[in-house]
Amino acid sequence: MNEKHYLILLVENNAGVLTRISSLFCQRGFNIDTLTVASTDNPNISRITVSCFGDETVYEQIMSQTEKLIETKQVISIEPEHAVLRELLLVKVETDSDNVDEVVRTAAHHHFRIVDSHKGYMVLETSGSPEKIERMLALLKPFKIVEMCRTGATALEKGKVNYDLDN
């Protein structure tokens, strides 16, 4: 059965690591839904958050094989109920004299920030769980969405977690 999985990889910050990791997913027929990458407080270590759909057996294979990569420091499977999952959404909507006040009200009421406004369009920003981002996009359907960009999920486990990034 295909289900959504979240995986955090702590890896050495080297060229080609992301290619090797994405190749593992591809070779196993596991489609990456979202992918975020950034360095950590240790500039030699990057944190990769992957969300994907797939069979549990294949997911466990990918985790096991990812752990074997020389650059991999740690692999963590994240359960959404035990983590804070967030995405960032930037969305540009078309505005005119008839709807600009409604766009502003919608933005204020639903916790969007207006980050840019020019004649004819407005850029809104929000962050939240992947489900919240989907709801926010649905709210904006009545307005013409000109362009949008979302980051994909990034995650932190709830509670105290000790990652050993120095080894």
Per-residue pLDDT of 66-113, as tens digits, reads: 999 999 999 999 998 999 999 999 999 999 999 999 999 999 999 999
Question: Which tokens hold the place of 17?
Answer: 């690591």
> CATH 3.30.70.1150 residue ranges in the chain?
84-154
What number is the average pLDDT over the span 31-46? 91
For residue 55, the model assigns a pLDDT of 82
Amino acid at 160: K
Of 109, 86, 79, 102, nearest in space to 7 by CA: 79
Q: Residues with Cβ < 8 Å from 57, sequence gap 6 or more?
A: none
The per-residue b/e assignment along 132-157, b for 16 or more CB within 10 angstroms, e otherwise, is bbeebeeebeebeeeeeebbbbbbee
Say if residue 51's pLDDT is above 80: yes
Mean pLDDT in the chain?
Answer: 90
Domain 3-78 CATH superfamily: ACT domain (3.30.70.260)
Residues of the chain with CATH 3.30.70.260: 3-78
User: pLDDT at position 105, please?
Assistant: 93
84-154: in CATH 3.30.70.1150: yes
Q: How far is CA 21 from CA 32, 42, 79, 147, in A?
A: 11, 20, 21, 30
